[in-house]
Amino acid sequence: MRSPGEELYEKGLWAWDQGLFVFAAECWRRSRDEARRTGNRSGVMRSLNALGCIEYELGRFRAAQALWRRAEALMETEPGCDPRFRVKVMINLALAAYVTGRIEEALMYLRAARGWCGDLGPFWIIHVEQCACSIWMTLERWDEAEAAARRALELLAGQEADPRVAHLQTNLGQICLERGELASATAYLEAARELLERLGPDPNLGYTYGALGRLYYLLGDLDRAVAYGSEALRVLWPNVLATHKAEVALVSELFGWIALAVGDRQVALMDLQRASTYFAQSYRWRDWSRVNRLLDKLVREWGHGADRANGRAARIHPESMERLRYFTTLLDLLDSIESLYPDVRQKAELTGRYALRVGQALRLSSEDLDALSHAAKLHDIGLTSLDPEVVRQREPASPVARNRMRAHPLFGEKILSLFPLPDLCCDAVRHHHERYDGLGFPDGLAGEDIPLLARIIAVAATYVSCSLRHGHSAAMLELARRRGQHLDPRLVDVFTAMHDPVQAPVAASH
């Protein structure tokens, strides 16, 4: 029979698998507290590691690192600690150091993980070698990166349908690109593409497409380079908030090269400057240095004529240029909001995730789900038009300030209307502050006259805003209190049912 702490931990795993991160975090905090109360140090370590995973998933890398370091400190006092857990924490710390640009620290944790995983079986060794490959690639130590990738692939022999095979093939293709081994790069990258396309949607497909774009640029096939760069944007498009800026930077750099090759130096300068900025913000200093060398050359040669690759004038489709403009404009707007309101990106990402779960429960069409995802993540983009002092006030003090605050959905609608988004998306942003009883704004719509996507966003945003301040349980009580007044009662019921493990029993096998 499992202890209360173990039951809470398992319930947290169920919530994590469902994408219900706030519920998972509450379960794991309670599990940690129960483990402390009973003196179960292993339970405390396990819960700290799990809580760190939540923070990492939400992009709060330093908070994740702090939790994992606390788990590491407890491990050092437990000689009998399960080596699998040690490897897990070491790899997590290596990843946190890696994404925040502290590469030497990442290598230190990686070596520690390797030291503990020797007798643990292939799963753990593959995990370590994948991480090692990425870190060595960042350091441009191609031999070590290749060796790590090949060790992992050897252990994956016979598992050709495993997406990790494609991820490692993509890395090997990138390594070959850096060495100028273009035939080998083609073989690896095309194999990775075929596997990922066959397996279905995978966020890493954008990375593979981007690498293929660079490959065909180097081969002088600008048309295929443009095609793969555009495909990379298409894959990244649905997840603009969750997309790392480094991925957008790679596509910007590719489009900059292509623009330069066909003689459009103004576009090249714009795309390369954008890539330089995003690489710096992502701590990708070697990539930043490479782009800046090209920028320096471009500025020095300005006005001396246009270069062309093989005399061909490939054309980047306007839709792809528009998507890239959309990405970068939104990222810049979100940076502006985040500098004033630090939690906005986390709230936006969580609201998008929860709204999408509700939409899936309602069996919305794929087109409606795409519109819902974008609208939910960007529902407060109109805050960029307001005085920060107005936004920070719990209740705006003056009628003028109140009216300005109530106008932000209209500003958000106007901003999104500048981009190639469906009307459903813009309507949802306009109406996400309407109330079910008709007392909301900006248009005073009531009941089902409010667009469905806006009603879904209202439920998700209410939950996220309350849960980040007071936790999951308090947020669920707040939803119940607002049911039928602010919020659509049917959607509140759907949201509540999503969090009931009885409808999807907790699996002890986790």
What are 435's two structure tokens? 């109330």
Per mean pLDDT, which range of 130-134, 135-139, 354-358 is the poorest? 135-139
pLDDT tens column, 233-283? 878 766 655 567 788 888 889 888 888 887 888 888 988 998 998 888 887
Q: How confident is the model at residue 180 (pLDDT cuts 50, 70, 90)?
A: very high
Please name the residue that has the structure tokens 């992502």.
282
pLDDT of 245: 76
- Neighbour count for residue 479 (Cβ, 10 Å): 20
Q: Does the structure show a pLDDT above 50 at 36?
A: yes
Range 8-15 average pLDDT:
96
Per mean pLDDT, which range of 128-142, 182-196, 335-349 is the poorest? 335-349
Q: Measure the CA–CA gap between 159 and 343, rounded to whole angstroms.
A: 41
Q: Does domain 341-503 have CATH number 1.10.3210.10?
A: yes
**Nearest residue to 111 via CA among 150, 69, 148, 149:** 148
pLDDT of 141: 92
The DSSP H or E segment spanning 472 is helix 472-482
pLDDT tens column, 456-493? 999 999 999 999 999 999 999 999 999 999 999 999 99
pTM score, two decimals? 0.82
Q: Does the structure show a pLDDT above 70 at 123?
A: yes
Average pLDDT, the chain: 87
Q: How confident is the model at residue 166 (pLDDT cuts 50, 70, 90)?
A: very high
> What residue segments make up the domains of the chain, in order of their start?
203-237+244-340, 341-503
Q: How confident is the model at residue 327 (pLDDT cuts 50, 70, 90)?
A: low
pLDDT of 281: 82
Q: Measure the CA–CA gap between 17 and 372, rounded to whole angstroms.
A: 21
**Nearest residue to 130 via CA among 99, 154, 164:** 164
Q: Does the structure show a pLDDT above 70 at 395?
A: no
pLDDT of 476: 98
pLDDT tens column, 62-108? 999 999 999 999 999 888 888 999 999 999 999 999 888 888 899 99
What are 189's two structure tokens? 């990258």
